[in-house]
Structures are given as C-alpha cells and as structure tokens.
Amino acid sequence: MSYLSWNCRGLGNSRIVQGLLDLKKSISHNCVFLSETRLSVQDIETIKLKLGYKNCFAVGVDDRSGGLALSWIEELDLTIKSFSKFHNDSNIQQSRNGRSGELRVFMAVLKFTIARRHGFSYVG
C-alpha cells in the first residue's frame, strides 16, 4: 500500500494542482491526505475527480485557512472514526493474497504553537 500526505498550503493554484497530478502519475497512491487545502468541499471534490479517486472525505476551509481532504481507491475499506478541522482518524482494512489486514491512520495538522506547547518539535 502506498500513501501520500501533503501540506498543500493552498490548492487553488493551478501549478500546485498540476504538481499533485504529476506526483500521482509517477506513483500510484492508494490513499492521499491533503492538509491546508484552503478549498471548499465542492472544490476538493473536483480535485478528487482529477486525481482519479472515487472516494473522498473533505473538511472545508474555515475562513481563509485549513481544509482537509482524504481520497482513497475503491478497493480500500476505509472508515472515518473521527475528524475535526485539524485531524482525520481513519481505519483501513484491505485483503490481499488471501490475507486481510487493518491499519489505523491518524492524520493531523500541527501548528507550531500547539506542537511547542506540548513539547514536540516542529519542522515546517
């Protein structure tokens, strides 16, 4: 399985969208998590279709910041456990070669002040 997580810092720019499409062509990802999209849910749906995914869960932009998108291939059994404008907690089940497996995925956007307050280092 292949996953991509990317802090886009805005997906409204056509060059950024083209970069994402080029990355998708070079490596076929089963699941893509995008943070800081700065897009509405409807705009994220358009990006999902351009990327060729059938499934998408999106949290729209809040004012002029934020926005999360999680897209995945049809073969994955993905369940959203919880979400907010800062995180997405998901459970993925997949069967392959007669074996099934489960993966819990927690994807979050950590802001510098939050990370620092809790003793984490931040590389951005």
Instruction: Give dist(CA 16, CA 40) in Å, integer.
Output: 16
Q: Are 70 and 88 in contact (CB under 8 A)?
A: yes
Domain assignments of the chain as residue spans, ordered by start: 3-117
Query: 3-117 is classed in which CATH architecture?
Result: 4-Layer Sandwich (3.60)
- List, for residues 33-74, the tens digit of each pLDDT value: 898 899 999 999 999 999 999 999 999 888 777 889 999 998
- Asked if residue 108 has pLDDT above 50, the reply is yes
At 53, phi and psi to the nearest 5?
-95, 145
Q: What is the pTM of this model?
A: 0.77
- Asked if residue 12 has pLDDT above 50, the reply is yes
- Residue 42, pLDDT score: 93
